[in-house]
Homo-oligomer: A and B are copies of this chain.
Amino acid sequence: MKKLVNNPDVVVDEMIDGYLKAFPKLVEKVEGSGRALVAKQSLHGNGKVGIVIGGGSGHEPAFMGYIGRGMADGVAVGNIFASPPPQPIVEATEAVNQGNGVVYIYGNYAGDIMNFGMASDLADMEHDIKVESIIVRDDVASAPKREKEKRRGIAGEFFVTKVAGAASARGDDLSEVVRLTNKANESVRSMGVGLTPCALPQTGKPSFVLGENEMEIGLGHHGEPGVEKGPLQQADDVCDRLIDDILNDGDLKAGDDVAVLVNGLGSTTQMELFIMFRRVEQRLSEKQINIHRSYVGNYSTSMEMGGCSVTLMKVDEELKALIDAPAECPLYAQYE
């Protein structure tokens, strides 16, 4: 698989280099660090609760694109599909700490749990920073409901980060940011479909194999096995499968409001994503579930993987206000 890279061993560092040079007014590297980046607008001594995100690379614009006003303050950048080690997480934590606590948001993966866990302990013991961790588990395909603690985090982390970032930006204290972020995390559900694989720059080999007319329902963001392989169906049928599984897992009912994200995994066109969104809207409309705000595009990718995911987050008045709050990051901006 062809890629525009130089030395495959340093793709992440060259990406970070390009990113920092593209948005010098918005982001910077923590001094002396290789992989901890912070939003410049966050460092104004406003006493806000710090928000630190991170994870493996290859999901761009997640996670590094989501630091900025109204979103996260710092990010630790791992190698491709690999958790960052504790050091850059601690560096980001120190950089964004303003004395009122820091919240970590990351997906439910063994490496991230270990490294963010160690970073949290180090931040507490060595730097006296109080850290609360929120582990995202939105992928309903990755484990049954009775084993929700095993579920992986996928594109729904975007909504969880949005809620945390908006709450901390308006000055909520640590316990309130944690309460709202947990509420978002409990309210968000996603499910994806994979059509074509991606390849690590170092190997050039596809991450999984699917037949020429095959799709995989429930495929994970790193190519983890899904729940069903089968012939590719029409977009509406694929969408129905995702929506049904999400709705059956949750408690959405007529009159409820949701935020919707139709997320491209990398090589899927916006045309296809809007055709998928069209069906999501039809299905929710039938059930008298109201779409409060929509996001359609590449928010959390798996490099050039083909396919998409659908995310629904039930929103009440307080979550609506946070989803609607303005945000300004290098790779995502929205007005109220």
Contact = CB atoms under 8 A, between A and B. Distances in A.
Given A235-B4, A266-B269, A275-B5, A297 B334 contact: no
B331 A267 contact: no
Interface residues of A, number: 64
A158 interface: no
B4 A278 contact: no
A208 interface: no
Interface in A8-31: 11-12, 14-19, 21-23
A248 interface: no
A238 B4 contact: yes
Majority-rule SS of A interface residues: mixed
Contact of A22 (B266, B294, B303, B307): B294
Contact of A18 (B2, B18, B193, B275): B275
Interface string A50-85: 000000011011000100000000000000000000
B275 A215 contact: no
A26 B193 CA distance: 29
Contact of A232 (B2, B61, B270): B2
A4 B60 contact: no
A19 B280 CA distance: 12
Contacts of A215: 2
- Tally of this chain's copies: 2
Contacts of A16: 274
A308 interface: yes
B213 A269 contact: no
A276 interface: yes
A272 interface: yes
A281 interface: yes
A3 interface: yes
Interface string A307-336: 110000000000000000000100101110
Contacts of A11: 271, 275
A232 to B, nearest CB: 5
A276 B4 contact: yes
A272 B277 CA distance: 28
Contact of A275 (B14, B213, B333): B14
Contacts of A46: none
Contact of A294 (B23, B273, B275): B23
Contact of A274 (B22, B235, B268, B269): B22
B267 A304 contact: yes
29 contacts: A2-B195, A2-B196, A3-B269, A4-B275, A4-B308, A5-B234, A5-B235, A5-B275, A12-B271, A14-B274, A15-B275, A16-B274, A17-B274, A17-B278, A19-B296, A21-B278, A21-B294, A22-B260, A22-B277, A22-B281, A60-B269, A60-B270, A60-B271, A60-B274, A266-B269, A269-B301, A271-B303, A298-B298, A333-B335
Closest 9 CB pairs of A and B: A18-B278, A18-B274, A267-B267, A60-B270, A22-B294, A4-B272, A18-B277, A4-B235, A21-B281
